[in-house]
Structure formats: structure tokens, C-alpha cells
Amino acid sequence: MHRTIAIGTAAGLLVALAGILPASAGEYHGGDGHHSDGGTAELTVFHGVPGLTVDVYVDGKLTLDNFKPGSFSDTLTLDAGTYSVAITAADAKDASNPAIGPVDLALEAGDNYTVAAHLTEAGDPSATLFTNNPDKVGKGNGRLTVRHIAAAPSVDVLADDVAAVTDLTNPDEEELTLPVGTISAVVAATGTTDPLIGPTDVEIAKRTNTIVYAWGSLAAGNLAFAVQTVDLTGGGHHHK
């Protein structure tokens, strides 16, 4: 499941990055925000907007310094509640002169999420909140989730030269259950096999949701893969 917010350039990036909280894992009990005891949520942020480096302040505290495109934040366990977020130019001295915000962001307890700041098919900044499927898969299998968040038309995703996902459009995703092992992944324009991204080896691991993001811009020639893994046993998250 995912929810997309496509709005103006600054606002789109704000929505995309406003969910970023401390750059270290663990619970965050911010300063000026209003946080409840109603449980926690898990959140990871992926920065998929090429060419933009920012600083992010939460409740007046610098929480991500020089957050660069292609990067994931740590996976955060957060108290449910509201956080005040301001986004500044990289290397700002403080949050007193934000480029965007401050705004209040309400986080609800519940699922595990990834917020992706990315480009729409047309190349405009946007944001999509994805829910990372925690359901287990059968013995000997792993989950592969493919997410199209690139400024590019619909694509096919080939696994070992076979189209495993077809006609995937931005910002949709598709989930597959595959045997444990390593596949060669390629993203191609729908109906073709010429690689736009890849080939790249992707490991399908047991008890793991391997999430592959196709991001960047076809027109700018900077399409790329980013990979996030979610442990289906609840043991943690990794990025590469």
C-alpha cells in the first residue's frame, strides 16, 4: 500500500522529508513537539530527488545533516504524536531561517513505513508513503518488492532475463514471492528488454522483504537502483 502526495516543488519536498526524524535508530522523544503514549511507529526515509542536499531539523534539533540523494535514514522507532519539522539549506547554522516549514507532522502508531522523496514521471518533486509488508513468506522463499519512483514512463522489471513485473508506473509498487537466491535485475521500458537500469545482482533472502527502488531521471541520465531490506522476523532494517 502507498499514499502519494504530489504538490509544488518546495511543498512536495517538505512532505517527503518532513517524516525524517533522528538519524540514529531508537526512540525519539523530541523537544517542542506533542508526543503521546499511544504506541510507536517505525519509519525509514529515502531521499530520491537527484541534485538536492538538505538539512532537516525536528523540534528545533538538527537530525539529518547534509542528507544526500540516494540515501536512506536509519530506521526509527518513534512515539506516536506530532513533530515540528523545518528544512534548511545544507550547512545552515540553525533552523531560524528555514527554506521550508516549520510544519507539524502527525505520526500514528502502527505499521512500518518508508517515506520516499522522489520525482514524478514528469520530473516534479513528490512524496510517497509506502507501507512495508511484514507478512511472512513460505519456507525457502523471500519477498521482492519493486517500487517505481523515477522520472520515467512505465517499466518492466526483468529477473534473470524474464519479465517478473510488467507495466509498472510511478509511484506504484509490486510484490513477488521468489525462491531464496540471487537474481539479475534489469529495469527496461515496458515491452522492451534494453536496460534502463542494471543489470544488478539482487539477493532474495529468507525471512526478508527486499525492496528495490528505481529512482532518478531518465532525461537526466541518472536512473539508479536503491535497495532496502526489512527483516520479516522483526529483527531490523538495512540499506545499500
3-state secondary structure the chain: CEEEECCCHHHHHHHHHCCCCCCCCCEECCCCCEEEEEEEEEEEEEECCCCCCEEEEECCEEEEEEECCCEECCCEEEEEEEEEEEEEECCCCCCCCCCEEEEEEEECCCCEEEEEEEECCCCCEEEEEEECCCCCCCCCEEEEEEEEEEECCCEEEEECCEEEEEEECCCCEEEEEEECEEEEEEEEECCCCCEEEEEEEEEECCCEEEEEEEEEECCCCCCEEEEEEEECCCCCEEEC
Q: Does 159 lie in the same domain as 49? A: no
Q: Does 105 lie in the same domain as 15? A: yes
Q: Does 208 lie in the same domain as 103? A: no
Q: Does 200 lie in the same domain as 94? A: no
Q: Does 93 lie in the same domain as 160? A: no
- What is the total count of domains within the chain? 2
Domain boundary among 100, 129, 158: 129
Q: Does 141 lie in the same domain as 44? A: no
pLDDT at 59 (0 to 100): 81
Structural domain for 173, as ranges? 135-239
Q: Please report, for the domain that includes residue 204, its CATH number.
A: 2.60.40
Q: Does 234 lie in the same domain as 199? A: yes
Among 206, 207, 224, residue whose Cα is nearest residue 215: 224
> Can you tell me the distance from the alpha carbon of 72 to that of 25, in angstroms, rounded to the nearest whole number?
12
pLDDT at 44 (0 to 100): 82
Mean pLDDT by 10 residues, the chain (240 residues): 46 46 36 62 82 82 88 83 73 82 69 82 86 90 97 97 96 96 97 96 96 97 96 66
Query: Facing residues of 106 across strands?
Result: 82
pLDDT at 97 (0 to 100): 84
pLDDT at 203 (0 to 100): 97
Domain boundary among 109, 129, 149: 129
Q: Does 119 lie in the same domain as 8? A: yes
pTM above 0.75, yes or no: yes
> Residue 176's CB: how many other CB atoms inside 10 A?
18
pLDDT at 216 (0 to 100): 97
Q: Does 110 lie in the same domain as 10? A: yes
